[in-house]
């Protein structure tokens, strides 16, 4: 009997903590786009399913529609990848974009902490998630982060693409070259959705 009671108490505590985390995660700016680019993590996004198309999440209970672009590898080796995610406010039409990057590596934590555009200007950088898996053959570290890109900057990059460097506190930096094809595909999906809504 005492064991059942402790399990119930643990379950209630878990539900309360999860509920508080979800409420915190749902904050938005005045224009209805997310003010916390750190949510959700790539593990949650992957559950939405990716294809060669832009996935659109248009929930009637949300003020913004969400667009998740196809994944692309950061380089020809390894398993680092990125995708574009965008939010369009259904009332105002305001658009926000973020390049979501997932980097996996061995060794020790790198702690990616900022991003710079070509020319050295600082970009809006958001740490999203960190995970370590030491199940086999040493540890694999995973860091998810996002780099905000204005709508005008993304539109200006449809021919040449967009490049930035994610700077690590220690260890290797990562250069991300966002394909002009993926940028065009993302913007076309947004334009198509806007025409229909």
- The shares of helix, strand and coil residues in the chain, as percent rounded to the nearest 5, are 25, 35, 40
In a domain, 149, yes or no: yes
What's the CA dihedral at 117, 119, 120, 122 to 10 degrees?
-40
In a domain, 1, yes or no: no
Sign, CA dihedral 19-101-166-142, equals: positive
In a domain, 18, yes or no: no
For β-strands 162-168 and 81-89, DSSP reports them as unpaired
**pLDDT score for 135:** 83
In a domain, 68, yes or no: yes
Q: Which helix (H) or strand (E) holds 170?
A: none
In a domain, 91, yes or no: yes
Full domain range(s) for residue 147: 31-196
Model confidence over 18-41: pLDDT tens digits?
Answer: 333 333 344 445 544 555 444 444
Give per-10-residue mean pLDDT for the chain (197 aa): 41 36 43 49 47 88 94 83 95 96 93 94 95 88 96 95 95 94 96 93
Model confidence over 166-197: pLDDT tens digits?
Answer: 999 999 999 999 999 999 999 999 999 999 98
Structural domains in the chain (count): 1
In a domain, 24, yes or no: no
Residues 6+ apart with CB under 8 A from 45: 68, 85, 100
Count of Cβ atoms closer than 10 Å to residue 179 Cβ: 16
In a domain, 3, yes or no: no
């Amino acid at each position: 009997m005492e064991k059942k009671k402790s399990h119930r108490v643990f379950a209630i505590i878990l539900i309360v903590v999860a509920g508080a985390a979800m409420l915190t995660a749902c904050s938005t700016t005045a224009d209805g786009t997310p003010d916390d680019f750190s949510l959700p993590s790539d593990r949650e996004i992957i559950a939405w399913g990716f294809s060669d198309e832009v996935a659109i999440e248009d929930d009637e209970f949300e003020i913004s529609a969400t667009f998740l672009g196809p994944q692309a590898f950061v380089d020809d080796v390894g398993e680092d990848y990125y995708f574009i995610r965008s939010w369009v406010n259904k009332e105002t039409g305001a658009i926000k974009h973020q390049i979501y990057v997932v980097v996996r590596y061995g060794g020790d934590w790198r702690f990616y902490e900022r991003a710079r555009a070509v020319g050295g200007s600082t970009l809006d950088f958001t740490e999203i998630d960190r995970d370590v898996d030491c199940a086999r053959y040493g540890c694999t570290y995973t860091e998810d982060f996002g780099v905000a890109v204005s709508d005008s900057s993304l539109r200006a990059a449809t021919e040449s693409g967009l490049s930035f460097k994610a700077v690590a506190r220690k260890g290797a930096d990562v250069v991300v070259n966002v394909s002009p094809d993926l940028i065009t595909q993302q913007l076309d999906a947004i334009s198509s959705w806007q025409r229909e809504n």
